[in-house]
Structure 1
Amino acid sequence: MKKWKTIGAAALATVVAAGSMGIFAGCNNTGDADTFTIWMASSVNSSIYNDYGENPVIQYLEKRFDINLEFTTPMLGKELEDFNKLIGSGSYPDVMDLSFYTDSIALLYDDGYGAAMDLTQYIEDYMPNYSQFMEDNTQFTQYAKIDGMYLTLNNYNEAIPNQWGGWMYRRDWIVDYGESQTKGSYSSVEEVEAALSQGSSERTGGFIEPVADDSYEGGYAYADGIVFPDGILTADGYDNPLTLRDWEWMFEIFMQNDYCEYCISLPNIGYHGTGELLSAFGVGPLWNAYDDGTGTFSEIKFGPTEDGYRRYLEKMNEWYEKGWLDPNFTSNSGDMFYAIDGESITSGVVGMWYGTTGQLGDHLAQSSTQTIAALEGIDAWGARQPREGYGARDEASGMYTDDPSVFYLDSQETSRRWIVTDAAEGKNLEKLFTMLDWLYSEEGSIIKYYGLSLKELEEYDIDTSLLEEYDLLEEGCWWWADEDGNRVEEGTPGAKVFVNSKIKNATGDIAVATNGAYFFGLGYDARGLEYDQEPFVRSHAYDEWAVYNNYGTLTGSFTSQFTVEEGSSYNATQETIREYLGKEVPNLIKSGVTDASWNAFLGALRTRKCDSNTELLQSLYDRLH
Structure 2
Amino acid sequence: MSENMKEENQMSKKLLALTLALAMLLTLLGACGGKPDSSSGSSAASTGESSSEAASQPEEPTVDTSETQSISIFMQADDVPEGTPGDDGAVLNYWKEMFNLEIEWQKPPQGSEQEQLSMMFGTGDYTDVIDLGFNTENLSTLCQDGVIYELSEYIDKYMPNYKAVLEANPDVKSALYDDEGHIYSIATVQENPKQWGGLVYRRDILETMTGGNIAFPSGNNEPSTVEDWEYMLGLMKQYFDTSGMPETACLIIPASGYFSTGELMGGFGIGGVDYITDDGKAAYGIAEDNFYNYLSKMKEWYKKGYVYADFASRSQDLFYLPNTALTYGGAAGVWYGLAANLGGAMSLPEYELIMDVQPINSPADTEHGIEKPLGIYLDSGRASNNAGFAVSTACDEEKLIRVLNAFDYFYTEEGSCVRTMGLTSEEGAAECQDYIEKGITKGTREPNSRKWTAEMEKNTEGVTAFASDRMPGVKVDYPARESDLIDGIYYTDVGHEAWTKYGNANVFPLSVTFTPEETSEINTINTNMQDYANGKIANFIIGRDELTPDTFAAYQQQLKDLGLERYLELRQAGYDRYLARSK
Q: Would you call these one fold, judging by a TM-score over 0.5?
A: yes
RMSD of equivalent CA atoms: 4.3
Secondary structure of 1:301's match? strand
Quick check: 2:172–2:381 contact (8 Å CA) kept in 1?
no
Q: Decide which of 260, 268, 271 is 1:281's aligned counterpart.
A: 268
Aligned to 2:473: 521
Does residue 444 in structure 1 map to residue 415 in structure 2? yes
Q: Aligned equivalents of 1:84 and 1:321: distance in 2? A: 53
Aligned to 1:21: none
Aligned to 1:253: 235
Identity %: 26
Aligned to 2:189: 156
Which residue identity lines up with residue 191 of structure 2 in the other structure? Answer: E
Aligned to 1:201: none
Mapping of 1:32-111 within 5 angstroms?
34-40=70-76, 43=78, 56-65=90-99, 66-68=101-103, 70=105, 72=107, 94-96=128-130, 106=140, 109=143
Aligned to 1:388: 364
How far 1:605 sits from its partner (Å)? 3.4
Q: Decide which of 353, 361, 372 is 2:351's aligned counterpart.
A: 372
Secondary structure of 2:350's match? coil
C-alpha distance 504-44 of structure 1, shift in aligned 2 (>3 A): farther
Mapping of 1:143-292 within 5 angstroms?
144-146=176-178, 147-160=180-193, 163-178=195-210, 225-232=213-220, 239-257=221-239, 258-259=242-243, 261-292=248-279
How far 1:372 sits from its partner (Å)? 2.6
Aligned to 1:552: 506
Q: Which runs of 5+ in 1 are unaligned?
A: 1-31, 180-223, 233-238, 293-297, 481-489
Mapping of 1:472-487 within 5 angstroms?
472-474=439-441, 476=443, 478-480=444-446
Quick check: 1:103–1:568 contact (8 Å CA) kept in 2?
no
Secondary structure of 1:272's match? coil
C-alpha distance 531-108 of structure 1, shift in aligned 2 (>3 A): same
C-alpha distance 178-94 of structure 1, shift in aligned 2 (>3 A): farther
Secondary structure of 2:468's match? coil
C-alpha distance 414-351 of structure 1, shift in aligned 2 (>3 A): farther
Mapping of 1:460-609 within 5 angstroms?
471-474=438-441, 476=443, 478-480=444-446, 490-491=447-448, 496-498=450-452, 506=460, 510-526=462-478, 545-550=499-504, 552-557=506-511, 559-560=512-513, 562-575=514-527, 577-578=529-530, 581-590=533-542, 591-595=544-548, 598-599=552-553, 601-609=555-563
Aligned to 1:214: none
Quick check: 2:259–2:319 contact (8 Å CA) kept in 1?
yes
Quick check: 1:157–1:414 contact (8 Å CA) kept in 2?
no
Quick check: 1:382–1:541 contact (8 Å CA) kept in 2?
no
Quick check: 2:75–2:130 contact (8 Å CA) kept in 1?
yes
How far 1:92 sits from its partner (Å)? 6.5
Quick check: 2:249–2:331 contact (8 Å CA) kept in 1?
yes
How far 1:543 sits from its partner (Å)? 5.8
Mapping of 1:394-409 within 5 angstroms?
394=367, 398-405=368-375, 407-409=377-379
Aligned to 1:136: 168
Which residue identity lines up with residue 372 of structure 1 in the other structure? Answer: Y
How far 1:138 sits from its partner (Å)? 3.0
Does residue 122 in structure 1 map to residue 154 in structure 2? yes
C-alpha distance 387-378 of structure 1, shift in aligned 2 (>3 A): closer
How far 1:420 sits from its partner (Å)? 1.4
C-alpha distance 382-314 of structure 1, shift in aligned 2 (>3 A): same
Aligned to 1:295: none
Quick check: 1:281–1:399 contact (8 Å CA) kept in 2?
no
How far 1:532 sits from its partner (Å)? 8.0
How far 1:579 sits from its partner (Å)? 5.2
Q: Which runs of 5+ in 2 are unaligned?
A: 1-67
Quick check: 2:190–2:383 contact (8 Å CA) kept in 1?
yes
How far 1:308 sits from its partner (Å)? 2.2
Q: Aligned equivalents of 2:183 and 2:235: distance in 1? A: 54
Q: Aligned equivalents of 1:45 and 1:97: distance in 2? A: 11
Secondary structure of 1:37's match? strand
C-alpha distance 414-621 of structure 1, shift in aligned 2 (>3 A): closer
Q: Aligned equivalents of 1:583 and 1:505: distance in 2? A: 50
Q: Aligned equivalents of 2:572 and 2:508: distance in 1? A: 11
Q: Aligned equivalents of 1:252 and 1:386: distance in 2? A: 17
How far 1:241 sits from its partner (Å)? 1.7
Give the structure-2-normalised TM-score: 0.71
Q: Aligned equivalents of 1:328 and 1:115: distance in 2? A: 52
Q: Aligned equivalents of 2:317 and 2:160: distance in 1? A: 42
Q: Aligned equivalents of 1:321 and 1:429: distance in 2? A: 64
Does residue 356 in structure 1 map to residue 338 in structure 2? yes
Q: Aligned equivalents of 1:39 and 1:105: distance in 2? A: 17
Number of residue pairs aligned between Structure 1 and Structure 2:
498
Secondary structure of 2:388's match? strand
Q: Aligned equivalents of 1:600 and 1:441: distance in 2? A: 56
Give the structure-1-normalised TM-score: 0.67
C-alpha distance 352-121 of structure 1, shift in aligned 2 (>3 A): same
Which residue identity lines up with residue 418 of structure 1 in the other structure? Answer: G
Mapping of 1:332-343 within 5 angstroms?
332-333=314-315, 335-343=317-325
Which residue identity lines up with residue 516 of structure 1 in the other structure? Answer: S
Q: Aligned equivalents of 1:97 and 1:610: distance in 2? A: 38
Quick check: 2:374–2:504 contact (8 Å CA) kept in 1?
yes
Quick check: 2:296–2:547 contact (8 Å CA) kept in 1?
no
Secondary structure of 1:167's match? strand
C-alpha distance 125-611 of structure 1, shift in aligned 2 (>3 A): same
Quick check: 2:74–2:105 contact (8 Å CA) kept in 1?
yes
Quick check: 2:249–2:326 contact (8 Å CA) kept in 1?
no
How far 1:554 sits from its partner (Å)? 2.3
Q: Aligned equivalents of 1:603 and 1:614: distance in 2? A: 15
C-alpha distance 100-240 of structure 1, shift in aligned 2 (>3 A): farther
Quick check: 1:362–1:380 contact (8 Å CA) kept in 2?
yes
Secondary structure of 2:476's match? coil
How far 1:445 sits from its partner (Å)? 0.6
Q: Aligned equivalents of 1:85 and 1:308: distance in 2? A: 51
Q: Aligned equivalents of 2:96 and 2:460: distance in 1? A: 27
Quick check: 1:103–1:567 contact (8 Å CA) kept in 2?
no
C-alpha distance 413-422 of structure 1, shift in aligned 2 (>3 A): closer
How far 1:103 sits from its partner (Å)? 8.8
